[in-house]
Structure 1
């Protein structure tokens, strides 16, 4: 796999409480928002950001790294022997997204910029 970790995904029950913890208590700087359910925070001394998302109860999600890869579709087609996919690839504003778990149940996520590349 040719990819780099760009985010660490942290699912939460209540985004307002999570923002208070990560921003106000821990002192992280908010770097971006996507709607009213997702907030990004800069992590000191790294290019990796913390992506905090309010998830609905029952949504299968676990904390884990998010890798930026050249092709989510390739990961989906080639990774079935080593990853347990939560769902098929889904769309994001920039490309595709894929949720998976490793054999220990840890979350591992993939995203690409296929739409951004196609529009360039």
Structure 2
């Protein structure tokens, strides 16, 4: 009797911790489109650069929280449409916001903005 030996290809063994496998199980229950919708619907908060904070303080510009909330919504909407840097015009202020970085770059009062030339922006948001 002849012995035949078949060699099986060697497969690496991957060890998973329990937390990792539960994460995998949890996310595998969701479709890609559900995960994408969740991630894109997350609203990211704006940060104010040091420069913009100084300008707001020097120019005594204050913006109410509900207005900040509206700005964040519109900046995120603009970001989804491909805008990277936007001019945001308010009743009392104008600001340049990097949608790409979610950062307020600079702020000025609305009268000062009337005599400025804004360059390197690819979107404008007007909130009255």
TM-score (norm 2): 0.24
Larger radius of gyration: 2
Higher strand share: 1
TM-score (norm 1): 0.25
